[in-house]
Structure 1
């Protein structure tokens, strides 16, 4: 078992087969690992980055032996993990140590980590690549070395959240203290020891402007925080500022002085209006803002974006902008958006029927756009977009009452991997996926379409679909027999679907397809019992 695990990790590029010339050395390394899975994964991950040359492997075995013979107070596995850390390139060491800033045992959003690595200056620029793309390579390297575990992934396979093993957390905390990399304090602990470069305060509830050289300030999910200090602008070294999940309502005008700011994260705060001073943040790359009213259910105003003043088009370094509300009095939002040609992700709220043409013209200029999320201002608005979105890999559409013509236009988009229709985004009785439709699509979500009665999947459609999420608020008569043609399907989820749908013949057939995980989600206990009885065939 240990040998197989080692080979699969160290020689994954050659299908887990150990080359003959490395056979003896590999066995010695596995023996040194004492059969411990985490140690085997770590050392094999390290070796997978090396050339398959005897001298390189022997040098690493010598280092491993030396590490195991010294530091007798350390366990064998800790010594092996230390060796894996010591082998990291300089830039990756800082990225790896950064995990120690966050709460232990918590999964961390990869985007949050990546943006903070960039703010800290850990990520080196490469020709023809954005800093975010380079940072993603750093993350992939840490994962391939088995120093970071992926908790959840996006539709395109990229890590959504990640974490580290408890043993690695110990190593990181010790290294952070040795290198004065960061000091971790609780909300009531103000005992700062010596010279520190970074500080992580658990359960903090106030922003201080005493640290004039501060680059990163992250108040993610600090619910007691309700305001910014007026002189926040004096922290002009800021590159990352997050008040996600707080009760902050207003941004002070002095925020316009944070000219080095790269990320401003306002998601799920109470900020609904951007001050005009925001237009002076020329280096801003990520502007994330929305507020969800969890008391509303399937209402078009459940999630709000932010209103902007004139001048947001000056922020031409923006990679991500969501959600922005259009049709603000006195502001030509589309003229402003048309200047943001570097955008990779865009979210727009409160579109009107008349905005279809101009929004398409605006989006067409965004040659790097990969993700688009649009919603209309009311349920009565019909949004007419044309197929001008060639680079999109993900699209979410809500409240737009789309009809067949747009579905046919979307199916020709060559790069779509993830499509989501919700809240009457689709307003027909039949949703038909014809042969050849969406050849790359991996994830499809169809939710809250009150008129939808029939879902038809022809053979040869959705040929690479892996996940299909259906419901709630659908009145489907039955499941399409075309599900049996989806050879790559891994997961189907049903949320609040009616009993007659679950009792249909094709649904029963779906349950017999091997390799497909079927999930159900119901709020009412009686409905859950009903589903269990149907599945049992009662």
Structure 2
């Protein structure tokens, strides 16, 4: 198929049953026809998209203020509807998804995916950055419309790397969300209403500019995985440790200066990954994390580790790396009978406790 398209920018990708859809905008052509929006449709396992749905216009149609919705199957043009509303994104996306559900008899939920669009073998290049010639539309509005017309509830939503400056409040309508990825954006805050997403299990807020979290985040009782890395967080909100179903907490490259004293209340935590330069100590309650299997303490200002670290009876992996003020390790490390991997380097530690040499399950000790 040849649309005479030279490039387009991926706005979002979706999946339903065995069908994948990729939605594009900022479409550049070398002909007079203008494509405003485009959806590529690909059946899993096939090398090329099966067909394209486009909102298009031409000098003749432009003079009349009209756009057409066209469907291209393989090498031939198939259907053409010409009305003035197809320039409007909501009309286009509603009709396009109606046709898709009808053609493929789709009844399941349509979910966003993080597609590797390079594997689609598209007949045009993928633009990697926004061309500001196309700023006549409001991208956040487009996303709101997409959510409006996906008739079945979402369970997974990936909005990473979209340069979002504000939390899209339309997300709060998606009460069935289990996974929300907002990483690699420009968010500075999270609304307190996030607690309304009470089915949420996995939340990725990494690589933003978030300075504080709302206290209401502690009401996400089903949350299991939380990534807060690479933000400007100074502290965690009170009540944070009421997230008693949390299994993984990652806070890397943050401005955090302390961990909550009641961190031991995170009784189901299995992975704790802390890389925060201004943290100077670990709470004694860390020893109450009886289900913890992996602990990473990296690039902090910690001077010593609490003896209670030896109470982490299920710990299998311990990383103590790049803590330049840390000179000794507690003898209680010898109580970590399930410890398999110990990483200790980049600190000021000169010798390991004798008790470490007797660890019954140890497989490797890394001392770079």
Q: TM-score interval w.r.t. the shorter chain?
A: 0.5 to 0.7
Q: Deviations over 1:126-152 (max 9, x none)?
A: xxxxxxxxxxxxxxxxxxxxxxxxxxx
Asked if residue 441 in structure 1 is aligned to residue 346 in structure 2, the reply is no
Tell me by how many angstroms 1:98 deviates.
Answer: 8.3
Going from structure 1 to structure 2, the CA distance change for 1:374 and 1:341 (only over 3 Å counts) comes to same
TM-score by length of 1: 0.41
**Unpaired runs of at least 5, structure 1:** 1-96, 102-179, 195-207, 293-303, 472-538
Tell me which of the two structures has the higher relative contact order, counting C-alpha pairs closer than 8 angstroms and 6 or more residues apart: 2
Query: In the alignment, which of 416, 425, 435 is matched to residue 315 of structure 2?
Result: 416
Q: CA deviation at 1:455?
A: 4.3
1:452 is matched with 349
Would you say how many aligned residue pairs link Structure 1 and Structure 2? 263
More strand by share: 2
Asked whether the 8 Å contact 2:281–2:303 carries over to 1, the reply is: no
Alpha carbons of 1:225 and 1:184: their partners in 2 closer, same or farther (altered >3 Å)?
A: farther
- How far apart, CA to CA, are the structure 2 residues paired with 1:187 and 1:419? 47
Q: Please give the alpha-carbon distance, in whole angstroms, between the structure 2 residues aligned to 1:435 and 1:310.
A: 34
* Match of residue 224 from structure 2: 319
TM-superposed deviation, 1:310: 4.0
1:4-403 matches, within 5 Å, as 182=44, 190=52, 210=94, 211=97, 214-219=109-114, 224=128, 228=140, 229-231=142-144, 232-234=146-148, 235=150, 237-244=153-160, 247-271=163-187, 273-291=189-207, 307-323=212-228, 326-327=233-234, 333-335=237-239, 337-348=240-251, 349-353=254-258, 355=259, 359-361=260-262, 363-376=263-276, 378-379=277-278, 381-386=279-284, 387-403=287-303
Matches of 1:370 and 1:459, distance apart in 2: 22
Indicate yes or no: 2:358 matched with 1:461.
Answer: yes
- SS of the residue corresponding to residue 194 of structure 2 reads helix
- Closer, same or farther in 2 for the Cα pair 1:187/1:275, shift >3 Å? farther
**Contact 1:421–1:445 (CA<8 Å) still a contact in 2?**
yes
Once the 2 structures are TM-superposed, how far is the Cα of residue 284 of structure 1 from its aligned partner? 0.8
Aligned-residue RMSD, C-alpha: 4.3
State the distance in 2 between where 1:456 and 1:388 align: 22
- 1:266–1:288 CA contact under 8 A, matched in 2: yes
Q: CA 1:273–1:238 in structure 2 vs 1: closer, same or farther (change >3 Å)?
A: same
3-state secondary structure, aligned to 2:172: helix
CA distance in 2, matches of 1:423, 1:455: 16
Distance 1:283 1:405, change over 3 A: closer
Paired residues of 2:215 and 2:238 also in contact (CA < 8 A): no
Gaps of at least 5 residues in structure 2 are: 1-15, 21-41, 54-70, 74-91, 99-107, 118-126, 131-138
TM-score (norm: length of structure 2): 0.57
Change (3 A) 1:100 1:439: farther
Distance apart, 1:257 and its partner CA:
0.8
Indicate if the aligned counterparts of 1:221 and 1:245 stay in contact, CA closer than 8 A: no
